[in-house]
Amino acid sequence: MKPVVMSTTKGLVIRIRNFEMRDIERIMEIEGEAFREGDPNVYIELYNEWPEGFIVAEKDGTIIGFEVVILTPEGEGRVFAIAVDHRFRGKGVGRALLKTAFNLLRKHKIGFVRLEVRVSNWVAQQLYRSMGFVEVGFVPFYYKDGEGAILMRKVL
Ligand SMILES: CC(C)(COP(=O)(O)OP(=O)(O)OC[C@H]1O[C@@H](n2cnc3c(N)ncnc32)[C@H](O)[C@@H]1OP(=O)(O)O)[C@@H](O)C(=O)NCCC(=O)NCCS
């Protein structure tokens, strides 16, 4: 994608562009804070598979959030990861990243997008519901720590 400067729904001006390899350290900082799982190789592999699906949001030249969208073997989009630096949460960055991904998937004629979210992650669930995702299933013990995942899906 061509980099785009946009104002979020909360009036924060951000620049959205594709990930570049030199961003990996900063991505892992945000990832580590958000998920505490971080294996950079997983992200690099996903980037190599579909570079367009790895999207970052910058504020004044610093990355403040990212999202990785992948294509499933069934031909659907899947939000593999989305995270925003805690200092910039609640300012519409997550919503802007998701909207960008929806447009990207539509451009590729993909009809559905899905994701998994922790049962306890009420904030993310709220965001997804408000963007048209609906609950379609539940997987017990989905995460390494034993927590279950809610499966959500959206028609694009
Ligand atoms: C989930 C996450 C990516 C959302 O990003 P964000 O930039 O803070 O989200 P936005 O500002 O775009 O918020 C959009 C919606 O999310 C919900 N939301 C955001 N912050 C919230 C909060 N503190 N409390 C309740 N709801 C909240 C609201 O519904 C909000 O809608 P609004 O714009 O009408 O207020 C971010 O909180 C994050 O990085 N969390 C840690 C990682 C994570 O959980 N990722 C998702 C894994 S599935």
Q: Which atom of ligand 1 is nearest to the CA of 96?
A: 12
Residue 127 has pLDDT above 90, yes or no: yes
> Parallel, antiparallel, or unpaired: how do β-strands 54-59 and 13-18 relate?
antiparallel
Mutation to probe ligand 1, out of 126, 133, 143 (largest number of atoms < 8 A from CB)? 126
Residues 104/128, Cβ–Cβ less than 8 Å: no
Q: What is the C-alpha separation between 138 and 136, in angstroms, rounded? A: 7
Q: At 35, give phi and psi (nearest 5°).
A: -120, -20
With a pLDDT cut of 90, the percent of the chain lying above it is 96
Q: Where are the chain's structural domains?
A: 4-115
* CB neighbour list of residue 132: distance below 8 Å, 6 or more residues apart: 154, 155
The closest residue, in CA terms, to atom 48 on ligand 1 is 117
The string of pLDDT tens digits covering residues 141-151 is 999 999 999 99
pLDDT tops 80 at residue 37: no
Quote the ligand 1 centre to 20 CA distance (angstroms). 25
Kindly list the distances between the CA atom of residue 67 and the CA atoms of 108, 137, 138, in Å, as whole numbers in the listed order.
17, 22, 22
When pLDDT is averaged across residues 127-143 and rounded to a whole number, the result is 97
Q: Which atom of ligand 1 is nearest to 8's Cα?
A: 12
The fold of 4-115 is Aminopeptidase (3.40.630)
CB-based pocket (< 6 A), ligand 1: 9, 34, 82-84, 89-95, 117, 121, 123-124, 126-127, 130
Question: Strand, helix or coil at 114?
Answer: strand
Q: Is 144 exposed, middle or buried (0-12, 13-18, 19+ CB in 10 A)?
A: exposed
Q: Is 38 a residue whose pLDDT tops 90? A: no
The angle subtended at Cα 109 by Cα 79 and Cα 55, nearest 5°, is 35
Structure token digits, residue 130: 């408000």
